[in-house]
Structure 1
Amino acid sequence: MRNRPRRPLAATVVATGVVAAGAAVVGAPEWFGLAGQRPFLWTVPFRVPVGVGLAGLAAVTGLTGVRWRRALPAATVLAVAAAGSLGATAARGVSAGDLPVARAGDVTFLAANVLMARADPDAVARLAVDGAADAVSLPESTQPYADDVAARIEARTGTGVQVFYRRDREGGYGTALLVSQRLGEYRATGELTDGLKAVVTAEPVSGDGPVLAAAHTAAPVPQLVGDWTLEVRAVADWCARTPGALLAGDLNATLDHPGLHLRGSCVDAGEQTGTGARGTWPAKYPAVVGATIDHSLADGNRWRAVGSRVAALPGSDHRALLARWRPVDRT
């Protein structure tokens, strides 16, 4: 009896291996240290579209293969990769979230990229007031815009608001940090200003409020990938080394990017409270398929997130993020 030719089996094994490697790299580039490299740094924020694409490719491969049995291994590999990508999203949470009732000692931080001061300032103020925000981070703001939002908050609450502002190195716009007098009096510290796009840091002069930062890092566009890599890492490192820190803003990165592989005690509010994969950009698409690039971070030795909420922000291409932080020594 003659042996059956092994060439088709060998070809199937090789083809399946190639498909498996490709699917793994596309579906989870962070496993291979590629999430910060082109082109994967641009695809890793969009896990749901990638997962759906892999699932569709699995279906096409399985259903249209010339020989179904030979196509089945590759289709299975693609389906597993799709499930992994979608599963990672589900694990972080795609809920819009909610905020529990604030308790004494809680600090609520609002991050709202206002798109070159085009977002409705009254809507920003309403988000801050309705969410009982103690601090507000306004990337892509101007000084007059930040002052306007602060005045609207003061008019609604009767509580003073300090405004700290730093222009982007490119010019026209910058980042503002608004701090309610409920936290006491603050002063700017000037940390994270050397070479970074626009980060405002402030510490309490009176009262027992936390060290605060409002941040906006460079976007990972081709000409700024180097700056983006350094700036995202610098912001995450500041969170890790600053006792009691709270930070919020548009970090232009997801937790899968190497810069936001949080180290030390630094924690992410969305990841802790189930909104960690809710897309904050671009706002014109459903949140479930968007990129989660707006964050609220904290020193986890001092703070734990007890709630977060992703909310619409009229006039902006971002959604806003509210995070409520509670001291870890309080139940």
Structure 2
Amino acid sequence: MRHARDVQRSPRPRRPAALAGTVVATGVVAAGAAVVGAPDLFGLAGSRPFVWSVPFRLATAAGLGGLAALVGLAGLRWRRVLPPALALAVVAAGSLATTGVRGLSAGELPPARAGDVTVLAANVLHGQADPAALTRLVVDGGADVVSLPESDLALAEDLAARVEAATGTPVQVFHLRDRGRSRFGTALLVSARLGEYRATGELTDGVKAVVTAAPVSGTGPVLAAAHTAAPVPDLLEPWAVEVRAVADWCAATPGAIVAGDLNATLDHPGLRLRGSCVDAGAQTGTGARGTWPARVPAPLGATIDHALADGNAWRAVGSRVEDVPGSDHRALLSRWRPVT
């Protein structure tokens, strides 16, 4: 007769309740992580608090990845937390992949060809940007068009004079003041290489400060320099309307090019580009390189300065994100080539 201790017991089957709990916990963690890491997929990128977190996708992905690592370490002792850790890691990897596809590179410009149009967008922080540094960006980059959000007329005219002195080519200056400000607004500078331009006044009453201009002579494109409202708590509604208006203008205007501080990333609903409108950074590998705030490393910043164009008429062949001494933004230099 065998003693009771000699009888081998069968492994106790895992309790269904415990398994169900793990499944539910994993689902909740995965859903929560997905909302945090990619609120745009759920239509939440324009709502609080995601409107302020979605521009910093790389930092969010790093945070989710770090949390996944911590939970994974705990899983060495409690295996039930390994599935939630894996869910966190998958969401973090997806967010990183999106960032990688858009591009974190500082970028480069290929040599210009006949017919190319080069555009510089530089928020000058209420005229505090160094005019000598701006001049170098324009001249060395071969910019035909310059968009200067937060500029007064004096800075715009000074920059135009400096560029003309350096290149020998006249530069037209257009300027529109911000609503409610006495001096500052947005300036649009256009090189005579593109021909003569006239201001058209489109979007003037619908966006914080946007200058639109059309060619009177020459073969240059329809142009706009834009600065929308910022997504601060009191301005979320006008911000959404203004960003959408600029993107829609791009899509509806044949041959258009628009550049400036749009205070939105491609994840925000207003910059879900429609029709033929395309983004230079996304096309050329700088689409996730942060342009604001300049005090943080560019890969961790928000890409809110853009150059957009009618993709039926133009394709971006290069872009470069540049530091601007004196400004809290980095500048975006983009080169557009006619679609043939």
> TM-score scaled to structure 2, two decimals?
0.95
**Matched ranges for 1:288-299 at <5 A:** 288-299=299-310
**Alignment of 1:13 onto 2:23:** yes
Name the SS of the counterpart of 2:189 in structure 1: strand
Q: Describe how 1:83-102 pairs up with structure 2 within 5 A.
A: 83-102=93-112
Cα distance in 1 for residues equivalent to 2:180 and 2:44? 29
Q: Match of 2:253?
A: 242
- Pairwise CA distance, 1:7: 2.1
Q: Aligned partners of 2:180, 2:250: CA distance in 1, in Å? A: 25
User: Is it true that 1:285 corresponds to 2:290 in the alignment?
Assistant: no
How far apart, in 1, do the equivalents of 2:75 and 2:46 lie? 34
Work out which of the residue numbers 301, 305, 308 in structure 1 matches 2:312: 301
Structure 1 residues 30-109: aligned runs within 5 Å = 30-65=40-75, 67-109=77-119
Measure how far apart 1:13 and its partner are: 1.3
Q: Secondary structure at the match of 1:45?
A: helix
Unmatched 5+ stretches in structure 2: 1-9
Matches of 1:275 and 1:295, distance apart in 2: 10
Residues in 2 aligned to 1:44 and 1:244: alpha-carbon distance in whole angstroms: 30
Q: Cα offset for 1:164?
A: 0.2
The question of whether the paired residues in 2 share the 8 Å contact of 1:140 and 1:175 is answered with yes
Q: Which amino acid aligns with 2:289?
A: R
Mapped to 2, the partners of 1:81 and 1:183 lie a distance apart of 46
SS of aligned partner of 2:187? strand
Residue in structure 1 matching 2:128, options 91, 103, 118:
118
1:267 aligns with 2:278: yes
| 2:180 aligned with 1:170 | yes
- Show the counterpart of 2:234: 223
Task: Output one character per residue of 1:178-232: Cα deviation in whole Å (capped at 9) or x when no partner.
Answer: 0001111100000011131000000011111100000000000000000110000
Q: Does the 8 Å contact 1:142/1:173 carry over to 2?
A: yes
User: 1:98: Cα distance to partner?
Assistant: 0.5
**Letter of the aligned partner of 1:256 in structure 2?**
D
Distance 1:10 1:3 in 2: 14
**1:142 equivalent in structure 2:** 152
What are the Cα deviations for residues 127-165 of structure 1, in whole angstroms up to 9, with x where unaligned? 001000000000000010111111111110111100000
Q: Which has the larger radius of gyration?
A: 2
Q: Secondary structure in 2 aligned to 1:321?
A: strand
Partner of 2:224: 213
Percentage of identical aligned residues: 74
Residue pair 1:62, 1:68 contacting (<8 A) in 2 also: no
| Matched length | 329
CA distance in 1, matches of 2:245, 2:134: 27
Give 3-state SS (helix, strand or coil) of 1:46's partner: helix
CA distance in 1, matches of 2:338, 2:185: 30
Which consecutive residues of structure 1, in runs of 5 or more, have no partner in the other structure?
Answer: none
Instruction: Write the distance in 2 (CA, Å) between the matches of 1:57 and 1:4.
Output: 27
Deviations along 1:264-288, whole A, 9 cap, x unmatched? 0000010111111011011111101
Relative to the length of structure 1, the TM-score reads 0.97
Residues 317 and 335 of structure 2 are in contact (CA less than 8 Å); yes or no, is this contact kept in structure 1?
yes
RMSD: 1.2
* Matched residue type, 2:74: T
In the alignment, the residues of structure 2 paired with residue 308 and residue 3 of structure 1 have an alpha-carbon distance, to the nearest angstrom, of 60
Distance 1:66 1:243 in 2: 59
Counterpart among 206, 209, 227 of residue 198 in structure 1? 209
Corresponding letter in the other structure for 1:274: G
Note if contact 1:281-1:292 (Cα within 8 Å) is conserved in structure 2: yes
The 3-state SS of whatever aligns with 1:223 is helix
Q: Confirm or deny: 8 A CA contact 2:206 2:245 kept in the other structure.
A: no
Q: Do the aligned partners of residues 3 and 124 (structure 1) sit closer, same or farther apart at CA in structure 2, a change above 3 Å counting?
A: closer
Distance 1:215 1:43 in 2: 23
- Describe the superposition over 1:212-268 as per-residue Cα deviations: whole angstroms up to 9, x where unpaired: 000000000000000110000000000000000011000000111110010000000
